[in-house]
Structure 1
Amino acid sequence: MNSSVSALPLSTLSPANEALTLRLPSSLQLKQQLPLTHALTQQVAAHRQAVRAILNGEDSRLLIIVGPCSIHDPHSALEYAANLARLAADVSDQMLLVMRAYVEKPRTTVGWKGLAYDPQLDGSDDMAGGLTLSRELMREMLQLGLPVATELLQPMAAGYFDDLLSWVAIGARTTESQIHREMASGLGMPVGFKNGTDGGVTVASDAMRSAAHPHRHFGVDSQGHPAIVQTPGNPDTHLVLRGGHRGPNYDRDSVAQIRSDLTRLKIPARIMVDCSHANSGKDPARQPAVFNDVLEQRLQGDQSLIGMMIESHLFEGCQPLSPTLRYGVSVTDGCLGWGTTEQILRQAADRLRSRDSVQLPA
């Protein structure tokens, strides 16, 4: 991988309070430098349609978004993706596995903002290189046959990746943002809105209703020029439960209340559960328990639960940024290791197959 497209300085730092401006390549330039083949473009279209079919109840498989909390090392990320591609083929009758390729990370205050911002992990913030590296990496994941998912945090960055993605998350801190709702209304793939950090779903419900409508908003075109953007509205949104300050919200009673609230608002009751964050008490070792609880609800007939999200890397836990990083260990939230991840997904597929065999007519 290389980062040959570089930022160009437009101004120098003059007064102490004046920002330094560096020009980035346009999204069109980067897409031309790192294009998708026709076959990969068709693959992304097919994966998006597969996700839509699950959301619409036309496909009974579970949608599983799984992968590192954030990607900081392309080599370990691609090793993980290769493992996931092999597993995806084995469980494809029961699950659609989507690679979590998060290259932007929201920060409560300050900290490392992700591969797209700081690919060298040293505060140099080579964003031109980060965008290039991120696109290269996602393209290699597509070449493994995987659908790719990410959280879109900075709307201006969306155009660099939008043709690669089969599913997008809007995070708990940005679901309330009008700018992100407008962006979602123009995306060509399904979008999951997370509930707010308080655990309530009103903000996410409002976001889904807003994103379903057409908008005209300020934006940039593919060449980087300021533009009026007109969007058609996105019918393929759903809710992602991640818990909140009051605790988890994946239990049966919470899901039943949320399902009722969505129905009352005439929003399709399509619910994914994030097994991490407040639902696991930020303890990665609790993710399998959350996953299996949700799976049991699904097995008992709750079709509103369309899937789960798991934070997982090659090895369990997390580590602070340092000059000597352990290979395959998250540098943001703690993750499950690959062995445990594979085990719970294979066991889930077996349980789903057993359900199917019982339901078959004699």
Structure 2
Amino acid sequence: MVLDANLDEDLEQIKTNDLHVVETCPLLAPIEIKAELPITPAIAKVVSSARSRIRNILNGSDRRLLVVVGPCSIHDVKAAKEYASKLAKFRDQVSDALEIVMRVYFEKPRTTIGWKGLINDPHLNGTFDINFGLRMARELLLDVAKLGLPSATELLDPIVPQYLADLISWTAIGARTTESQTHREMSSGLSMPVGFKNGTDGSIDVAINALLSARQPHRFLGVSNEGRSSIVTTTGNPDGHIVLRGGKQGPNYDQTHVEAIAHRLRDRNLLPFMMVDCSHDNSGQDYKNQPLVLQDIAEQVRNGSEYIVGIMLESHLNRGKQPLKDLAKLEYGKSITDGCIDFETTVDSLTALANAVRERR
């Protein structure tokens, strides 16, 4: 096809870009938000020392268990701070057996539509004040760290780490994104240990391939601390591991599954250690089953299993979940995403797990 050089139609009448974009708004640069809400030496020590302890658990040199526990998602900062205060006090009581890290999730992957998390929509009303959401998230992470409590999160948008990653001690890559090249590349440059969940279909190879990929150096497009589009070069992250969360075929936390997966890891020249998510398909999508999953894991640990090195638990001040409809009627301390067990049940369940670690054969 030969283009007509004399075509005199106005280019504005033949628009080929932004056909479905309503507007673009400036995003504050990471350096600006970090300057407003800076990390202090004391907080940096909390983050860094927790990362070191987590690495030791993941490589088997520390025989305690890593516990990532907290709300499914953060939607109420006041409730999150109260939860963090309670968790910090309990953490000290079981620190000989458990390394407790608070689950502080600001981003929610959605299968179709729904609230995408505190960063995306901090006011819970569809105004999508993302700049405010980033500030809100960073401020909460600082407040949690001031209690001496490390934080864990799931990183979904590859731009977000520039704003928050210096305050995170452990990160998850979710079942929907473990297979994503973008998230594997991002993980290769993260400074903390990263847990890759098995696929929603139960596939373990997806998670194994992800952690193998993340161990390698990568070059990809990203955003600099100054907010400029950049080419990012990474060294690779040696602290990747898999997280079992069940799948469409059912749970995968039982001893038979765990031992089979440990052998598969060894076959790929990887350490045979893994975490277990007590929620999602391992609980049959019913939050009330999480303590039952944890009981099974505790028995495996008590009986001498070395393969399970950590667990995840969805927990809030109050049990259950509630719909996000009328903000004025939201119950304080109750999840608006997945259902959670209440704090008292959390304490009972984790105390039993700590005792299993202490009694391990």
TM-score, with structure 1 as normaliser: 0.93
SS at match of 2:165: coil
2:67 matched residue in structure 1: 64
1:5 matched residue in structure 2: none
SS at match of 1:350: helix
Q: Tell me, which stretches of 5 or more residues in structure 2 are unaligned?
A: 1-16
User: Given the alignment, which residue of 33, 36, 52 partners 2:36?
Assistant: 33
1:143-190 Cα distance to aligned partner (Å, 9 max, x none): 011110000000011111110000000000000011100110001100
1:1-362 map, 5 Å: 17-323=20-326, 324-355=329-360
CA distance in structure 2 between the partners assigned to 1:74 and 1:107 by the alignment:
22
Matched letter for residue 96 of structure 2: D
Matched letter for residue 133 of structure 2: G
**Which has more radius of gyration?**
2
SS at match of 1:315: coil
Question: Alignment identity in percent?
Answer: 51
1:238-296 Cα distance to aligned partner (Å, 9 max, x none): 10000011110111111111111111011222200000000000111100110111121
CA distance in structure 1 between the partners assigned to 2:357 and 2:205 by the alignment:
32
SS at match of 2:113: coil
Compute the RMSD of aligned alpha carbons.
Answer: 1.3
CA distance in structure 2 between the partners assigned to 1:18 and 1:322 by the alignment:
27
1:72-127 Cα distance to aligned partner (Å, 9 max, x none): 00011111000100000000000000000000000000100000110110111100
CA distance in structure 2 between the partners assigned to 1:266 and 1:57 by the alignment:
15
Contact kept, 8 Å, 2:279 with 2:314, in 1: the verdict is: yes
CA distance in structure 2 between the partners assigned to 1:69 and 1:18 by the alignment:
31
Q: CA deviation at 1:350?
A: 2.6
SS at match of 1:298: helix
SS at match of 1:156: coil
The 4+ residue runs of structure 1 with deviation greater than 2 A are 14-19, 350-355
SS at match of 2:106: coil
Matched letter for residue 117 of structure 1: N
CA distance in structure 2 between the partners assigned to 1:141 and 1:69 by the alignment:
16
Counterparts in 2 of 1:353 and 1:298: CA distance versus 1, 3 Å = closer
CA distance in structure 1 between the partners assigned to 2:19 and 2:234 by the alignment:
40
Q: CA deviation at 1:348?
A: 2.1
Q: CA deviation at 1:42?
A: 1.7
SS at match of 2:172: strand
Contact kept, 8 Å, 2:64 with 2:98, in 1: the verdict is: yes
Q: CA deviation at 1:16?
A: 6.9
Counterparts in 2 of 1:218 and 1:292: CA distance versus 1, 3 Å = same
Matched letter for residue 342 of structure 1: V
SS at match of 1:22: coil
TM-score, with structure 2 as normaliser: 0.93
CA distance in structure 2 between the partners assigned to 1:128 and 1:24 by the alignment:
6
Matched letter for residue 29 of structure 1: E
CA distance in structure 2 between the partners assigned to 1:300 and 1:233 by the alignment:
35
SS at match of 2:49: helix
Q: CA deviation at 1:354?
A: 3.7
SS at match of 2:167: coil
CA distance in structure 2 between the partners assigned to 1:21 and 1:268 by the alignment:
45
Matched letter for residue 288 of structure 1: P
Matched letter for residue 169 of structure 1: A
1:129-154 Cα distance to aligned partner (Å, 9 max, x none): 00000100111000011110000000
Q: Tell me, which stretches of 5 or more residues in structure 1 are unaligned?
A: 1-13
